[in-house]
Amino acid sequence: MNRINPKKLLNSKWTSVSPKLKEKHFIISELELDEDDSVLSCCVEAVLTKRIAAIDWRDLKDSTSWIHGWK
């Protein structure tokens, strides 16, 4: 399980364990927080294609799907 600090999530780098469309490396490009610093929404941007997709930030905790950093 990946540990995530919501304050450091923006611009963090992630690697998809099962890449689709040759998109393996991602950056957290958009992050919306509420007053209590709880994450409301999160968007990842594929480095290769610049495609942006909204994801549930809790999915990043699953180490079978995501690896923190670029591997």
Position 35 in a domain: yes
- The CB-based long-range contact list for 23-29 (8 Å cut-off, 24+ gap) reads 23/47, 23/48, 23/49, 23/51, 24/48, 25/70
Look up the domain containing 36 and give its range.
6-68
**Which residues in 32-66 are b (16+ Cβ under 10 Å) and which e?**
eeeeeeebeebbbbbeeeeeeeeeebeebeeeeeb
pLDDT tens for 21-63 read 999 999 999 999 999 888 999 999 999 999 999 999 999 999 9
Q: What is the pLDDT of residues 11-22, one digit of tens each?
A: 999 999 999 999
Residue 1 lies in a domain: no
16: in domain = yes
Q: How many domains does the chain have?
A: 1
